[in-house]
Structure 1
Amino acid sequence: MSDPRKEIWHKRKQLGRSKYLILFGLLPWGIGLTLLFSVIEFLRLQEINWVWVPIRLLIFVFIGFFVANARWHAMESRYEPYTRRP
């Protein structure tokens, strides 16, 4: 891993896993994709079915959790050799 990426990961790792999952998984994926799909629905149908908004939010929050968790573990495995060096 190059030095800039190592420094970025070090800063993100200092947030802690829970905060990382919220800031880089739950919020952007959950809220972002819910808004995106709601806008697409509005553009296609000229209305928003409000029953689907919380359902979308739940689904995309779960997706965001798994994506961020996978990224956390991937970065941990990349970053681990650098922490073992003297």
Structure 2
Amino acid sequence: MTEQQADKWRKTRTMGKGKYVMYFGVLTWGIILAALFTGMEWLTQQSFTLSWMYIRLAVFGILGFFIANFRWDARERLFQSR
């Protein structure tokens, strides 16, 4: 981790792990992936199913939780080892 990356991470980590995981994981990954897959459904089938949208939000929100959690841990290890 370079000094510039360390400074950026130092600022990001002030929000805490919980907020980081919720913002960058559940909200960001969950909403973006759900919108992407819903757009693909619309383009391929010319229809939109609201129940699938809810399922996508839940599944991709959980997936985003794990992605952000692992990213936090990896960046913390890099930050501590420098």
SS of the counterpart of 2:38? helix
Q: Root-mean-square deviation (CA), in Å?
A: 0.8
| Bigger Cα Rg | 1
TM-score of the two chains, using structure 2 as the length reference = 0.95
- Following superposition of structure 1 onto structure 2, how do residues 1-86 of structure 1 map, counting pairs within 5 Å? 1-82=1-82
Aligned letter for 1:31?
Answer: I
Alpha-carbon displacement from aligned partner over 1:6-57 (angstroms, at most 9, x marks no partner): 0111011101001100121111111111111001100011110111011000
Give structure 1 stretches of 5+ with no counterpart.
Answer: none
Identity %: 39
SS of the counterpart of 1:48? coil
Shift of 1:81: 2.8
Distance 2:76 2:45 in 1: 44
Distance 1:50 1:30 in 2: 16
